Structure 1
Amino acid sequence: MIGVDMQNSLLAKYSGSVPRYTSYPTAPHFHGDVQCGKYAQWLSELGSQHDLSLYVHIPYCDRLCWFCACHTKHTLKYEPIETYLVSLKKEIAKVGSLVSRGAKVSALHFGGGSPTMLRPHDLVDLMKAFRAAFDFRNDAEISVEMDPNDLDEARYDALAAIGMTRASLGVQDFNPKVQKTINRVQTFEQTKSVVDAVRGRGVHSVNCDILYGLPYQTMATLEATVNDIVSLSPDRIALFGYAHVPWMKKHQTMIPEEALPDVEARFAQMTQAADMLVEAGYEPIGIDHFAKPDDRLAVAARQGRLRRNFQGYTDDTAEALIGFGASSIGQLPQGYVQNMPATGEYQRMADAEGLAVVRGIELSDDDRLRAHVIEEIMCRFAFSFETVREGFPRLGETVIAEARQYAASNPDAICEIVGEEFRLTEAGKPFARSVAAVFDSYLATGKGRHSIAV
């Protein structure tokens, strides 16, 4: 057990601003040399042996949550969504024409924004566009991010019609004062009604998101929220730290900074919530996820198959993650791509040529090596020297030497070398992002600003 003084000393050293490492290299290092032409070439190189994972971004909300750092915009009119969907379907058709028809889709994720803002017939038509352009596996996961304030019986029926298998609900905190301050009013009763409705329509997996580090949030409010969430018995729970980035998301200036907990309070909140979830029978997954022992994510973690991408932790083994819609990011064997973030410009590009990529990065061998090491640290809190040598015989020894040097020179014992493996200690696991950053060769360039690591 680490003493309070020691824990606070570690927090002071290792809770600085670092990436979340949902990719490597991270998005601030994407550049304009990768655009539509390069993307089209990469797509055409995906063969029938490749599995595909698809992500579609709906960048609209009927209310703007002030804590949100997603690419989205507030609208009370449906017309902008209708025109957006026309362009989106053109992109879907174009990408489908470039990818080998033999490639199979293993997962499709509807994200946002608020995908549940779509009218029922539009949601069904969008799914038809995907099925017309791609071949789906019979057991493909169809997951949808849901806002309880959008939902009604017709939308529930539409979600069932598209074959939704996983529902994801953002809760954040049920305390009324916290909710009012972040402009996200959502009662426990509303949330429970959604969980009951989707399960009643055969959805086998429900995920709930909880945030700590919110304004006016206390240990007591967070404890009450965790107890409420556990009572719903979700299959997965994500416990995220609120990322306060007002320089990037201006609406976050609506949140009073004096009401935000400091780093020590954030860490205490995170620890309390995590302990409660483990006590309730959930298995910890990586740095911020929890799952029931029989959930696919928990099974993948125990078997060493856990992966990390732009959607967080996943058991998806697809070789390519293809993003659709404004600002969406794709991850292909050759590198990363990102679509135009501005909705109007995205629509203009998609309407003109079917693609809207404006930046990305082609992976070097060093990028692939460091991406492997960072993903292993984020997923397993360790990486194997033997695996590095086998996968990267020419460059592997460089990173192994860096690992040995860092472990030997680290006076706080947050990591260690055990045999032929680099491992984080129990004291170091909360600071996995900071340890992963040691192997990030781009971070020193100073591009991009990031949220704190705890």
Structure 2
Amino acid sequence: MTFAQTSRLAETAPRYTSYPTAPHFHPGIDEEAVTRWIDAIPDGDAVSLYLHIPFCDRLCWFCACHTKQTLRYEPVSRFLRSLHAEIETVAAGIGTRTRIAAIHFGGGSPTMLAPADFRELMARIRAGFNGADTAELSVEIDPNDMTDEKLDVMAGAGLTRASLGVQDFDPRVQRAINREQSFELTRAVVEGLRNRGVGSLNLDLIYGLPHQTVDSVMATVGQALTLRPDRIALFGYAHVPWFKKHQTMIDETVLPDGAARLEQSLAAARLVMEAGYAAIGIDHFALPSDSLTRAADAGRLHRNFQGYTDDPCETLIGLGPSSISRYRQGYAQNIASTMDYQRRVDTGHMAIARGVELSEDDRVRSWVIERLMCDFGFSPEEALARFGRACAPVLSEAAVIAQTDRDALREKGGSYVVPAGARPYVRTIAARFDAYLARGTARHSLAV
């Protein structure tokens, strides 16, 4: 390991699921601005929907999502009435002139929803949005929530991809993060989905958790591979207790350090690739036949708030508390407080709290950062074709980095590329092109 690599282990950086990143959103973006952005969506455009369900029936201590624990269903029922109202408001804004290409449920735990409520929610989406009846449908699943009835309803609604939260199968690690879930339960849910014709399955795994070792991570990965998922996401645990107070329940003295996290990550990645999966970006893997692999091979891979995706839609509309929408003009985030969100949408308004409008420089940097995160490099020629003279400052910065830090970036075949040994640190390399980072006070998780 070189000195440059060793020093980068201690660095923190954004995950770059957007640019500018969420800490740089501001309240100057409001409902009026977003209404203009919606009105400007071209007729016939394909749009994606993301629905955030902000409840769990248990609180996993590692989680950094906007969610709250509830053991009663009444708050969920009350929230759903508000979500129905938001769907009606947004659907009225875009009418039938757009086509919904993809619908994604995240959380929280979308699988907390009662089967009848999930069925009604899908009916309202399909009644309000053009094309929603044939859209790709993906749901984040907590296997502990699942029943045969829920599996039947989701499959009946046209579920095309399920993403199962696993994290780790080691009971000691599970107890340390308050997420107990047996391999047998996970396997039963996988089999239940496949028996109902769900064609694509993803498993979420995490390294860098308390008590994890290389051997224990490898054991979890080995078990996961026996289920032969179509995709595997291998995330590094983001320890941000200043942002999520429940993470203070995790004993920091048993967290792996930066070197151990890197070793876990590399060992797990090797095992997954030896099993025939292609590496996608920094933390995803997919079978050669999967659409994510095909998108990566064709240079069509993208990155958004769900991670790596082959979704080509430029517009992603977020529904529910704290959800983030992406429009051609910029980003907009909903109110995070569920109660405040409900008060707002119940009166027929959108729940916009903040956002950011993109400058031309933002667009250039956003594209460069996304290509680095997806392809580990970018073409100056393509940048010039896309952005013209606006990309000159960024290309100058890239030239300086390539001349002064060849461990991070090199010029090769007319492109700037991240050397193979530096790819685990691509977040810190992408951060070199972040014009906002030095201005803010936000703290970030370890980059590896």
Give the TM-score range, shorter chain.
over 0.9
Q: Which runs of 5+ in 2 are unaligned?
A: none
Residue 392 (structure 1) aligned to one of 379, 387, 406? 387
| Aligned partner (choices 416, 421, 432) of residue 415 of structure 2 | 421
SS in 1 for 2:215: helix
Distance in 2 of aligned mates of 1:316 and 1:119: 28
Tell whether the 8 Å contact from 1:15 to 1:434 is kept in structure 2 after alignment. no
| TM alignment of 1:280-319, pairs within 5 A | 280-319=275-314
Residue-by-residue CA offset, 1:155-182 (whole Å, 9 max, x unaligned):
1111112111101001111000000010
Find runs of 4+ consecutive structure 1 residues off by over 4 angstroms: none
Whether the 8 Å contact between 2:280 and 2:296 is mirrored in structure 1 is yes
1:203 aligns with 2:204: no
Match in the other structure for 2:93:
98
- Which range is displaced more, 337-346 or 10-19? 10-19
Counting only pairs closer than 5 Å after superposition, residues 358-437 of structure 1 correspond to structure 2 as 358-410=353-405, 413-437=407-431
SS in structure 2 opposite 1:221? helix
AA paired with 2:188? Answer: S
2:48 to 49, 53, 57: 53
Answering whether residue 260 of structure 2 is matched by residue 261 of structure 1, we say no
Q: Render the CA deviation track for 1:96-131: whole Å, top value 9, x for unaligned.
A: 111141211111001000000000000000001110
Please name the residue that 1:120 is paired with. 115
Q: What TM-score do the two structures reach when normalised by structure 1?
A: 0.97
Which residue does the alignment assign to 2:445? 451
Aligned-pair CA distance for 1:138: 6.2
Q: Write the distance in 2 (CA, Å) between the matches of 1:58 and 1:139.
A: 22
User: Corresponding residue for 1:241?
Assistant: 236
How far off is 1:17 after superposition? 1.0
Alpha carbons 2:126, 2:132 under 8 Å: kept: no
**Which structure 1 residue ranges, 5 or more long, are not aligned?**
none
Name the CA distance, whole Å, in 2 between partners of 1:423 and 1:109. Answer: 32
Q: Is 1:273 aligned with 2:302? A: no
TM-score with structure 2 setting the length? 0.98
1:48–1:100: 8 Å Cα contact kept in structure 2?
Answer: no
Match of 1:220 among 194, 200, 215: 215
Asked whether the 8 Å contact 2:217–2:268 carries over to 1, the reply is yes
1:116/1:147 contact within 8 Å kept: yes
Contact 1:381 1:423 in 2 (8 A): yes
Deviations 1:389-432 (A, max 9, x none): 1111121121111100011011x523201132111011111111
Residues of 1 paired with 2:91 and 2:234: CA distance?
35
Alignment of 1:182-193 (within 5 A): 182-193=177-188
Corresponding residue of 1:143: 138
Q: Matches of 2:95 and 2:300 in 1, distance apart?
A: 26
Match of 1:438 in 2: 432
Partner SS, residue 413 of structure 1 = coil
- Secondary structure, counterpart of 2:48 in structure 1: strand
- Residue 397 of structure 2 aligns to a residue whose secondary structure is helix
Distance in 1, matches of 2:148 and 2:372, equals 43
TM-superposed CA distance for 1:95, in Å, is: 0.5
Number of residue pairs aligned between Structure 1 and Structure 2? 448
SS in 2 for 1:417: strand
Cα RMSD between the aligned structures? Answer: 1.1
Name 1:32's counterpart in structure 2.
Answer: 27
Instruction: Give the SS at the match of 2:90.
Output: helix
Letter in 2 for 1:431: Y
Matches within 5 A, 1:15-94: 15-94=10-89
State the Cα distance separating 1:15 from its structure 2 match. Answer: 4.3
**Does the 8 Å CA contact 2:9/2:446 hold for their aligned counterparts?**
no
